Amino acid sequence: MTPTPDGAILVDMSARNPWDRIRIVEGDLTQLDVDAIVNAANSSLLGGGGVDGAIHRAAGQDLLAECRTIGGCPTGEARITRGYKLKARHVIHTVGPVYHGGDSGEPALLQSCYESSLRLARSNNVRTVGFPAISCGVYGYPMREAATIALETTARFLAAQDDIDEVVFVLFGRAALDVYLAVRAELSAI
Ligand code: AR6
């Protein structure tokens, strides 16, 4: 808030607009130059396929060694490690829900993945974060529903604090990119 000479108070709304701090791109998350990338892991945290496999390959064996010391992670929660050979300083590992039709608590669990990851980022002084489309590969979550949860949850989190400068959603392929862009256009117009 800025007081003007005549005593009026100007509120700078742009600083609080969360959509200005959300970027949506197509690409490979492992190449992203941010403070932390988020891994769509499984509850063992010991690696797998998809983006998890790609992150472990790019980070090197030391990431797996650190993950072994953690002892797993329940669905909907997140854990943080170093990034090793990645450009990203940290990896935040979160475990998305397997999609079983949507009536088995999947939306709340997916929302919790984004919230837990962003909370962990904030408490580790991470200012820039990259996310994949958690649960949208092997775990079968429909992209549109998942994108709505991802973007809504992130926008709400960013609106409540200024510690995180930017969240980048890195999508694999044009189809996923287009879904995220369409959902963002709908949500940011509300
Ligand atoms: N960069 C960005 N996005 C990617 C990349 C990449 N390098 N590689 C894949 N994707 P998935 P899940 C996209 O299957 O559904 C693993 O085996 C992909 O196209 O990686 O949460 C874990 O160990 C999709 O849109 O994660 C678990 O067992 C999205 O990332 C399980 O898969 C997520 O797909 C987790 O399944």
Helix ranges (H only) for 26-132 are 50-59, 61-68, 106-123
Residue 150 and residue 146: Cα distance in Å, rounded?
6
Confidence class for position 14, pLDDT limits 50, 70, 90: very low
Distance 12 CA to ligand 1 centre (A): 38
Task: Determine how many CB atoms are found less than 10 A away from the CB of residue 49.
Answer: 10
The predicted pLDDT at position 83 comes to: 98
Q: Read off the pLDDT of residues 83-122 as tens digits, 9 standing for 90 and up.
A: 999 999 999 999 999 999 999 999 999 999 999 999 999 9
* CB of 54 sitting under 6 A from ligand 1: yes
Distances (CA, A) of 79 to 133, 135, 149, 176: 17, 17, 20, 26
Distance 4 CA to ligand 1 centre (A): 51
User: Average model confidence (pLDDT) for the chain?
Assistant: 94
Residue 2 and residue 56: Cα distance in Å, rounded?
47
* CB of 51 sitting under 6 A from ligand 1: yes
* CB of 138 sitting under 6 A from ligand 1: yes
* CB of 132 sitting under 6 A from ligand 1: yes
* CB of 50 sitting under 6 A from ligand 1: yes
The structure's pTM equals 0.93
In ligand 1, the atom with minimum distance to the C-alpha of 47 is: 23
Domain 16-188: assigned CATH number? 3.40.220.10
